[in-house]
Chain A
Amino acid sequence: EAGVTQSPTHLIKTRGQQATLRCSPISGHTSVYWYQQALGLGLQFLLWYDEGEERNRGNFPPRFSGRQFPNYSSELNVNALELEDSALYLCASSESSPRLYEQYFGPGTRLTVT
């Protein structure tokens, strides 16, 4: 069974640009989560999508946004990039109820903002 996949592996952008990160969940999983793992800060929850709807978002500004497609894949958009957005962005997927099922993580996209 294929795991969670993310693309691209690395992304280098300059300040003020926009970045788009993509995630494909495990087959059969309908929930997708996005996390930011910045150096020294651990994992910070960004967004949760389930069945195409945004269910919850973390304490991040509105320039962090995303969507979930009908095939349950997802993309994360970061507008007006700032230097502090440099981090590893992790995507995870789970079956529909987070109460019952654990999250499976992808390898991440390393975003570098210069």
Chain B
Amino acid sequence: AQSVSQHNHHVILSEAASLELGCNYSYGGTVNLFWYVQYPGQHLQLLLKYFSGDPLVKGIKGFEAEFIKSKFSFNLRKPSVQWSDTAEYFCAVSPDNYGQNFVFGPGTRLSVLP
């Protein structure tokens, strides 16, 4: 069965620190990859997505992610976090095969201290 793991349950950073959130998936075929964010009191929003092409994708609010196929990874990065980045971050995988559901990781809670 497909699964998505996220390396950290809770990450605490100070403003201006660099961020990297890990995401690994277990699926042997072609996949589409997503990072979603849920700010406090708000609903899930898409941060960025990867379908094909350049494995380094850029999203909103200065976030980027790199797809490394050989490592089954899709890590999220931001060079300098802000207090407003405090949120829960979810990695999701959708197999490139009609009929399959999205599989979400358990989420990583990011707390940025001012």
Measured between beta carbons, the chain B residues less than 8 angstroms from A33 are: 101-102
Flag whether A43 is at the interface (Cβ < 8 A): yes
Verify A48–B49 contact, CB threshold 8 A. Answer: no
Verify B106–A41 contact, CB threshold 8 A. Answer: yes
Name the residue of chain B whose CB is nearest to the CB of A48. B101
Flag whether A58 is at the interface (Cβ < 8 A): yes
Flag whether A25 is at the interface (Cβ < 8 A): no
Measured between beta carbons, the chain A residues less than 8 angstroms from B42 are: 107
With contacts defined as CB atoms under 8 Å apart, how many contacts are there between chain A and chain B in the complex?
52
Partner of A100, one of B51, B97, B102, B105: B51
**Residue among A41, A55, A102 with the most chain B CB within 10 A?**
A102
Verify B34–A43 contact, CB threshold 8 A. Answer: no
Measured between beta carbons, the chain B residues less than 8 angstroms from A42 are: 90, 104-107
Binary interface encoding of chain B residues 90-102 relative to chain A, with 1 for a CB under 8 A from any of its CBs, else 0: 1000101111111
CB distance from A109 to the nearest CB of B (A): 11
Binding site for A on B (CB under 8 A): 32, 34, 36, 42-46, 49, 51, 90, 94, 96-107
26 contacts between A and B (CB under 8 A): A33-B101, A33-B102, A35-B104, A42-B90, A42-B105, A42-B106, A43-B104, A45-B102, A45-B103, A55-B99, A56-B99, A56-B101, A92-B44, A97-B98, A98-B94, A98-B100, A98-B101, A99-B32, A100-B51, A102-B34, A102-B46, A104-B46, A105-B43, A105-B44, A106-B43, A107-B42
